[in-house]
Amino acid sequence: MKTRFYNARILPLDGGTPLFSGELTVDGSKIASMGETAVNAGPFDREVDCHGSLLMPGFKNAHTHSAMTFLRSLADDLPLQRWLTEQVFPKEAQLTPDDVYVLTKLGILEYLTSGITMMFDMYYARESIAQAAIDTGFRAALVGCANDFGGTAEQTMQEYERFSGYNPLITYRLGFHAEYTTSRPLLDDLSAMVHEIKQPFYTHLCETQAEVDSCLAHSGMRPVEYLDSLGLFDYGGGGYHLVHVSENEMDILKRQNMTVVTCPGSNTKLASGVAPIYEYLERGIPVAIGTDGPASNNCLDFFREMFLVTGLQKLRHGAEAVDATDVLTMACKNGAYACGFPDCDCLAPGKQADLILIDLGQPNMQPLNNIEKNVVYSGSKQNVTLTMIAGKILYERGEFFVGDDPERIYAEANRIIRRMK
């Protein structure tokens, strides 16, 4: 399918091209041309008059548990450890792979309304997650979540082999749940696997002070130090949250070329703390953004996450800390690289056509003094009028094009949670 977007303000976020007015064309799954006038001639299957709206790369949700939509507003107002043991783990034990498929679809619908075009999803039943993404046309990076309650290094390796080249919309990253749920023998097995296939590695890391204290008590080291001493980060990777870290741990993150994935909404709601994003940026450590799961956030709204990333740092370091342009880099480029989809990082000919259209003709986006800052500081889900992934429009002005009826998905999600009560 060939699509032409014209009368658009285009923000490539390619590290060099400034915001400009012009056209962008899509041929198949990729961007064919971009400029003040179209280079790729028609005819086109669809021509979209953007009426001065903003065309930009889609946001990359670099940490989530999409199927946890079933726990939205059910497991609230508890600190992390009680939240997990009293609410989350008992309910999750009742999930089936079919449940995960439906609940992941529900999460995807919400992502599309927020301009999210990619998810880095850690959850059970990865086959179901992959199928939900493929069936809806969504892009997904799956990550292993082995721990003492289930999963082995051998199974993680099998998944890596299975999902590598599985589908253009799917990739797989090595990982495990967290240091506090995983014993030393399993960590040693996972480290051996990392060194065998020489791939980056991802995990929940330093989310709470209790996690840090526990790791110090049993190992004499902080979580980043402990896992690094086992060789798990020898080929890079990243950590989700990284709220409570020491100077030495930051040095390790930098040395091992790791990405920090911050989840400020979840960290705020669970009272886990505020990640030192300003310090990471000062050290040149790349930061990406995630929503975390809808049980702990509870809203999969990337505009809220972007505002919190910068707003919380301003409270600590002053109004100049963490500029909006830095936040957009985190939301688009850095998220794409963390997920393993470098061809989705920006708008440019030859890149994947994962893009969104932002309506600037609404009160919260006027006047147009600085469009990039408007997106981060005053932007809202209400401004997202179109979401395209791999050249296919999946959401446009309140309507979904995902091969399924949203009302059926909603009904199924409610049926699943009623079964558990």
Percent of the chain with pLDDT strictly greater than 70:
99
Task: Name the residue range of residue 279's domain.
Answer: 59-340
CATH number at residue 6: 2.30.40.10
Are the beta carbons of 387 and 393 closer than 8 angstroms? yes
127 and 190 housed in the same domain: yes
**Angle, helices 97-113/406-420, rounded to nearest 10 degrees:** 130
In the chain, % of residues over pLDDT 90: 90
Within a domain: residue 412?
A: no
Residue 344: band (very low, low, confident or very high) from pLDDT cuts 50, 70, 90? very high
Our measurement of the distance from residue 105's CA atom to the centroid of its chain's CA atoms, rounded to an integer in Å, reads 15
Q: Are residues 177 and 259 in the same domain?
A: yes
For residues 79 and 9, the model is more confident at: 9
User: Are 293 and 306 spatial neighbours (Cβ–Cβ below 8 Å)?
Assistant: no
Q: Same domain for 14 and 113? A: no
Same domain, 226 and 310: yes
Q: How confident is the model at residue 38 (pLDDT cuts 50, 70, 90)?
A: low
In a domain, 308, yes or no: yes
Q: Which of 317, 340, 363 is the last residue in one of the domains? A: 340
Report whether pLDDT(99) > 70: yes
Q: With a threshold of 0.95, does the pTM exceed it?
A: yes
Between 132-141, 202-211, 291-300, the lowest mean confidence (pLDDT) is in 291-300
Residues 332 and 248 in one domain: yes
Decide: 14 and 319 in contact? Cβ < 8 Å: no
From the number of C-beta atoms within 10 Å of its C-beta (0-12, 13-18, 19+), residue 369 rates as exposed
330/225 Cα distance (integer angstroms): 25
Query: Is the pLDDT score of 261 beyond 70?
Result: yes
How many domains are contained in the chain?
2
Same domain as 329, residue 235:
yes
Mean pLDDT of 171-198: 97
Predicted confidence (pLDDT) at residue 75 exceeds the cutoff of 90: no
pLDDT over 80 at 40, yes or no: no
pLDDT of residue 76: 80
208 in any annotated domain: yes
Rounded to the nearest angstrom, the gap between the alpha carbon of residue 319 and the centroid of all alpha carbons in its chain is 26
